[in-house]
Amino acid sequence: MIKIPENFINKPKGYPKELEPKEIKKRFLSLLGEFKTPSVPLNIKVTDEKILKGNIVKQKIEYDVESGERISAFHLFPKNSSKNTPGIISIHAHGGEDIFPVGKDYHCHPNPDDPVQYSYILALSGFRVLAPDSLCFGERQTKWGYSTYLFDEINAHMELTARGKSLCWKSVWDNSRAIKVLEFLGAKSIGSIGWSGGSTQAYILAAVNEKIKASVCFFSFMTLRHQFYQYRLGHCLYHFIPGMIESGIDWDQVVSLIPPRKIFLGWGAKDKGTPESMYKAFVNAIENRCRKENIPKSIFLHEELNCGHIITKKMLKNAVNFLQINLKSIEK
């Protein structure tokens, strides 16, 4: 049997490279892929509607993301809200066999005391919320042979990379279509929120799509140099774009493209999936760019020493306040 040495994967010398924001953006977008004008309209259709406690309307809507690909989402909003109420794209968490089958529904239950139900709580706080299924979740599950859940997603990612794309590209495409839906529904200012793999999608979306004015991200701040060459830990697949390491860029550099728009990072010191070095890399990259370019404060932090990979009430309360301050005022 061939014995593989422990250090068979070595960090490339000088990785990541010190680059100016303009060059980081150029390299990242080149790797991510192009976003052409969709060949189909949204074709939005409301298929169901009910009233939740707190006088929150919960609609189920469908819309097209690509030709031949139609997805469903929950649309939650206060019954008496105005049409131009600020919109939030709410991205569900990723890991766990309990989330793959339900997708968007995981965060939409009418329980104001459970911070995991942030889609519902944001609507209760006055926002217009759109919560779609991500690819391979909820009503977008696709079974690949004998594989299930994460293996389905691995196969979807492989198929996308074989086409010269990636799951990261797909998430940006789909979530950008969700932004268009919110605009159609009347939202004039738009933010995003996500937990775990949903956090990853949220900060990638904010880095790419400037229509996101404020983004809330709970955990999962991944840097490739730490993930591959220090901790050897695995997470969801949105971080993996072919050629990114060779190009010399890492995710902390990518999120530094978000300012002067705003970002909220919620982090717990006991989160084994988000070591402190990765979290601090994100914080430092954003703060350093703001300081270097004299950009007003763009990053807002909530840290808890005794918290793992879970949203707390205090964390969500601060996140909701962040969105209320940094998006246009909510009309009652």
User: What are 233-249's pLDDT values in tens digits?
Assistant: 777 889 999 999 999 99
d(CA 104, CA 108): 7
Q: What's the confidence (pLDDT) of residue 332?
A: 41
pTM of the model: 0.93
Among residues 184, 163, 183, 170, the alpha carbon closest in space to that of 134 is found at 170
Mean pLDDT for 229-235 is 79
Structure tokens at 291: 């300081």
d(CA 206, CA 257): 9
Let me know if 50 is exposed, middle or buried by CB neighbors in 10 A (0-12, 13-18, 19+): exposed
* Fold type of domain 24-326: Rossmann fold (3.40.50)
Instruction: Give the domain ranges of the chain.
Output: 24-326
The CA-atom distances, in angstroms, between 276 and each of 15, 174, 181, 185, 267 are 19, 30, 36, 39, 9
Mean pLDDT for 119-143 is 92
